[in-house]
Amino acid sequence: MASETRPGTVPGVDGAGPAPGTDGAPRPPMRRVAFSVLIGTTIEWYDFQLYGAAAALVLAPLYFPSADPLAGTLLAFSTFAIGFGARPIGGIVFGHFGDRIGRKKVLVLSLTMMGVATFLMGLLPTYAQIGVWAPILLVLLRVVQGLGVGGEWGGAVLTAVEYSSPRTRGFYGSLPQVGVPAGLVLSTGAFLLVGMLPEEQFLSWGWRIPFLISIVLVAIGLVIRIQLDETPVFAKVQVRKERARVPLATAVRTYPVQMLLAIGSMISTGAYFYIVNTYSLSYVSTAETMGRGELLAAIMLSGVVAALALPYFGAMSERFGRRRMILVGLGAMALWIYPTILAVDSGHLGWVIGAYVVGAVFFSVSYGPQATFIVEMFDARVRFSAASTSFQIGVLLGGACAPIIAAALVRSTGTVLSVAVYVCLVSLVSFFCVLGVSRATLARGSADLDGGTDPEEVSGA
């Protein structure tokens, strides 16, 4: 399907075609690997994003009732942000063990942690029942969620990329990214269904149902993941006894600039995604521009579009280059946030659906190749720690604070367009960070994934 690699070029970098495989290692059926990664990440993100919908819709009155409506919303979004604060810690801890004992064990543990925390949220008493312990326990469970998803991304992406051949790395690296919109569709759909209940029933018990049924999905995901073997790339690191004693410390010493650029490349992705899909739910409820169910339907539709588009653009990065496609997507999101915000403010369902669907495509152009792009910056000894920590810190800086900043901006400026300006500015930050990643950096990481090709052979041109 892809063209031959030109001499001196690198797969997925600046439009170069895929390089031939060099490791000669036997590959397991990729359908099994792909299914394991896709199902697991979808379940993880379903669990994690349930909280985002709940924070926008029900947590303020149930767990922060003493605050005024706006303050309660800000407190609910603050606990939402706490999960993001735990994600880099999860990335560091799970990254360390992922680089030391393997990708598979980490994937099983991260999914278990997420599933148990989400299920317990569905059983958690409210403030009216146990007082101040309700928000305290809610925060603790959100921290566990953050730790779990912090380890999930790195393990899933590395499993997909390290199993795949050089010709399909962009496609398989995008599959863990699909879990984000797929989980969003499932979590939004679950809340859309329980939201049809009368308001009193929804607030008393209906909102708990999506949290409780997640335990079934987690059990299915665990059965699938336990059957998967360790990746061939990490198996080679074990055989060669190349494991770093403290992988993150080694990564910081070896790749300080690359890690900073990887962090910066993720800021706009988190800001755009959580402004459009989380803050907007709170905004339409307080501004009364449109019904909650209508916006949830638009979010679901955009999630379906993104889930279909991400693998396509991930595969296309083998032809056009991952860096180039990410830059195009970031530029498009920086501009498209304006009509999206205006559509939400207008309350016109047709405009909102159109803005969300087009935005999902622009988001996918950037986000589809992004996982493989980040993974290719680092070598196998420290790849889990470096990639996971960078990704999670970037999303923390961009996504955790985005709903809080958006609410504060609207309150202080009186216009929702201030939110669009904010997203545009952080998109420009990410744009220049991606632009700063050199072809030689990606060449070295790609060569390492190919099975130890001498980096000098591919980084000179």
Identify the pLDDT of residue 67: 57
194-205 pLDDT, tens digit each: 888 888 888 888
CB-based contact 407:73 (threshold 8 Å): yes
Question: Does residue 45 register a pLDDT over 50?
Answer: yes
CA count, 13 A, side-chain hemisphere, 226: 7
Mean pLDDT of the chain: 82
Q: How confident is the model at residue 72 (pLDDT cuts 50, 70, 90)?
A: low
Question: Does residue 382 register a pLDDT over 60?
Answer: yes
Q: Quick one: DSSP state of residue 9?
A: -
Identify the pLDDT of residue 429: 94
Distance (Å) of CA 287 to CA 30, 290, 415 = 48, 8, 11
Identify the pLDDT of residue 52: 72
- 205: region left, alpha or beta (phi > 0 left; psi from -120 to 50 alpha): alpha
Find the mean pLDDT for residues 254-259. Answer: 92
Question: Does residue 256 register a pLDDT over 50?
Answer: yes
Find the mean pLDDT for residues 344-368. Answer: 93
Neighbours of 29 (CB within 10 A): 9
Find the mean pLDDT for residues 8-34. Answer: 52
Find the mean pLDDT for residues 12-32. Answer: 50
Of all residues in the chain, the percent with pLDDT exceeding 70 is 86
Q: Is the dihedral of CA 265, 233, 31, 103 positive or negative?
A: negative
Q: How confident is the model at residue 419 (pLDDT cuts 50, 70, 90)?
A: very high
Identify the pLDDT of residue 457: 32
Looking at residue 129, its amino acid is: Q
Per-position DSSP letters for 22-47, written without gaps between them = -S------HHHHHHHHHHHHHHHHHH
Identify the pLDDT of residue 77: 64
239-250 pLDDT, tens digit each: 776 777 888 899
Identify the pLDDT of residue 22: 38
User: Which of the two residues, 13 and 133, has the higher pLDDT score?
Assistant: 133
Spatial separation of the C-alpha atoms in residues 146 and 392, rounded to whole Å:
10
Q: How confident is the model at residue 297 (pLDDT cuts 50, 70, 90)?
A: confident
Q: How confident is the model at residue 422 (pLDDT cuts 50, 70, 90)?
A: very high
Say which range, 1-10, 39-48, 81-90, 268-277, has the weakest mean pLDDT. Answer: 1-10
The helix-helix angle for 280-287 and 322-346 (nearest 10°) equals: 10
Find the mean pLDDT for residues 88-108. Answer: 85
431-445 pLDDT, tens digit each: 999 999 877 777 676
Find the mean pLDDT for residues 98-106. Answer: 82
Identify the pLDDT of residue 239: 76
Helices (DSSP H) in 376-416: which residue ranges? 383-395, 402-413
Q: Which residue segments constitute the domains of the chain, with CATH numbers given?
A: 30-459 (1.20.1250.20)
Identify the pLDDT of residue 370: 94
Question: Does residue 23 register a pLDDT over 80?
Answer: no
Of all residues in the chain, the percent with pLDDT exceeding 90 is 27
Identify the pLDDT of residue 60: 72
Question: Does residue 216 register a pLDDT over 90?
Answer: no
> Which residue has 């950037």 as its token pair?
366
User: Which of the two residues, 118 and 457, has the higher pLDDT score?
Assistant: 118
Question: Does residue 459 register a pLDDT over 50?
Answer: no
pTM of the model: 0.80
- For 33, phi then psi, to 5°, come to -60, -50
Distance (Å) of CA 323 to CA 29, 320, 337, 371, 374 = 29, 9, 21, 11, 10
Identify the pLDDT of residue 5: 37
